[in-house]
Chains A and B, each alone.
Chain A
Amino acid sequence: MGIIVNFSHRKIQQGDIQEFEKLFHKMYASLCHYALKFLNDMDSAEEVVQDLFYHYWKNREHIKINTSLKAYLYQATKNRCLKVIKHNAVRQKHADSTMHNAEEQVNQAQTLESDELAKIIEKTLSQLPERRRKIFIMSRFDGLKYKEIAKKLSISVKTVEADMGKALKLFRVNLKDY
């Protein structure tokens, strides 16, 4: 596995954009969900991951990877998220000290609340392991039958059943207060 993945890194280093595109499509969604663990919304998560891929491509020749490419991308995503959090904290501090308009603050609080349920659902999705999340999205959002999901992912229907059960349990826990 490690050998294959680093082979991919070497191909990308040599400028193989097709290999890069393959990697992007394989990893993008998972990395975004991972980033969402640290960040508040999917837009920022997507931005972080896109920036990461952009810089990886731009600096590909100088990037040395000692672990697997996958591990590298996860670690880099995490580092970038932490940077964003730090940056936002500074900005928030500044905003707090300058924002006098109480009405504005109230409005902001209201919009946050109405989006809260959606946020919780997004966060719960990002807490699920990769395969379980894929299965759940296929079932709930793409409307696929268990059988179709099993076939698509080359797994058994029993596995789909088990993952769906676990996913729903986590949702029940996270949505308990609503």
Chain B
Amino acid sequence: MELNLNIAEHRNSLAKYVAGEMSLSEVEEFETLVGSNPNNKKLVNDTKNDWSIIGTKQIKLPNANRAWNNLKTRIDQETLSTQTVKLDKKGKANFVGWAVAAMVVIAVASVYFTLGVQHQNIVIKSTSDLTTLVHTLPDGSRIFLEGNSQISYTKRFAKNNRNVTLNGQAFFDITKNLKIPFTIETPNTNIEVLGTSFSVKSTGPTDFELVVQTGSVSIKQKNTYAESIVAAPGDRVTLINNHLTKSKESTAPLQNLRNKRLQFKDEPLANIIRAINKTHQANIVLGSPTIGNRKLTVTFMNNSVQSMVEIICEALGLEVEYNENTITLWQP
């Protein structure tokens, strides 16, 4: 019998044969059928050949996951530049302003930035999910903002003060500046530092926890006459029965960060690289100086250094070179 591709039974058998879907007895039976007509052999060989060519050629199939990441980055960037809410001098928003803000926030959900003109407050708020928003302040200090947290500072930050307000949890990596101390106001304490790194959690009047990674930190409880407490690396300070209490902490806060999803919103590449170098103790350098200014909005789902580097290169069209200890990014 001659095999014919127009006969469903024949072509189905042929497909099963080349795809390796036949049992041994079926193969035997099929091969006997093939042998019964000299023309069959060519068709079987051609089909086998097709099957192998299809499998060995480099075929481009659409990659929905990669495409979605590209698209999401594009949309996020768009969102950032359109969400601007003005706050008045005292930092209190007027009603209309907040109504507009609320609408925008509801519409876009996710993370929002509120930027104003001089004297107005900048509010950075993270989403309720598990990502850590990494934000670089004008003085180069970095804040790793955990979910459900908010930080705000005035537009004049770093000019004559370095004051921020925190509600929630964050890791601070503060740039040293002996002239202008860095202060953090939480619901129950005021924290003052010169140049150090530490994590703070304070979500309400009775909740407070601070763990120092490097340097020293001075903490003063609000509305009491109690002296301020100074904490050193490895120290953990908590609020117990309305008293600041010092104990030892074995896990460095930086270590916890390494397992979090890191998120950057419209950050210059140089800042992103510095943050990754800090958290992962990597040594990534920029081979072409101008690329440091290029901005990127990105969430790293897999936080190995290599995968983060790959995503950055893909997004900005950069090349990467791995040497012994350094990873160099450069513009081809």
Contacts and interface: CB of A to CB of B under 8 A. Distances in A.
Q: Do A and B bind each other?
A: yes
A145 B5 contact: no
A46 B63 CA distance: 8
B222 interface: no
B21 A117 contact: no
Nearest to A57: B75
Interface stretch (A69-77, A84-92, A158-166): A158-166
Contact of B68 (A21, A122, A171): A21
Contact of A43 (B15, B53, B57, B60): B60
Contact of A15 (B21, B50, B109): B109
B243 interface: no
Interface in B42-76: 46-47, 50-51, 53-55, 57-64, 67-68, 70-72, 74-75
B57 A172 contact: no
A83 B55 CA distance: 33
A171 B50 contact: yes
A121 B63 CA distance: 17
Size bin of chain A's contact surface: 35 or more
Given A165-B8, A168-B51, A15 B108 contact: yes
Interface residues of B, number: 40
A155 interface: no
A169 B64 contact: no
A53 B71 contact: yes
A41 B5 contact: no
A24 B21 contact: no
Nearest to A29: B62
Chain A facing B: main interface SS? helix
Contact of A161 (B12, B47, B61, B63): B12
Contacts of B13: 165
B71 A168 contact: no
A136 B136 CA distance: 49
B61 A137 contact: yes
B62 A175 contact: no
B124 interface: no
Interface in A123-175: 125, 137, 139-141, 145-146, 161-162, 164-169, 171-172, 175
A28 interface: yes
B15 A161 contact: yes
B16 interface: yes
A25 B62 contact: no
A164 B61 contact: no
A133 to B, nearest CB: 10
B71 A50 contact: yes
B226 interface: no
B12 A165 contact: yes
A33 interface: yes
B106 interface: yes
Contacts of A14: 107
Contacts of A46: 62-63, 67
Nearest to A170: B5
A141 B60 contact: no
A162 B108 contact: no
B76 to A, nearest CB: 10
B55 A15 contact: no
Nearest to B74: A54
A172 B50 contact: yes
A81 interface: no
A21 B76 CA distance: 13
Nearest to A174: B50
Given A24-B68, A32-B62, A121-B57, A164 B16 contact: yes
A22 to B, nearest CB: 11
Nearest to B109: A17
Contacts of A165: 8, 11-15
Nearest to B70: A50
9 contacts: A33-B62, A41-B60, A42-B61, A46-B62, A54-B71, A57-B75, A141-B61, A161-B21, A165-B11
Given A15-B108, A49-B67, 5 more contacts: A125-B61, A140-B19, A161-B12, A165-B8, A165-B14
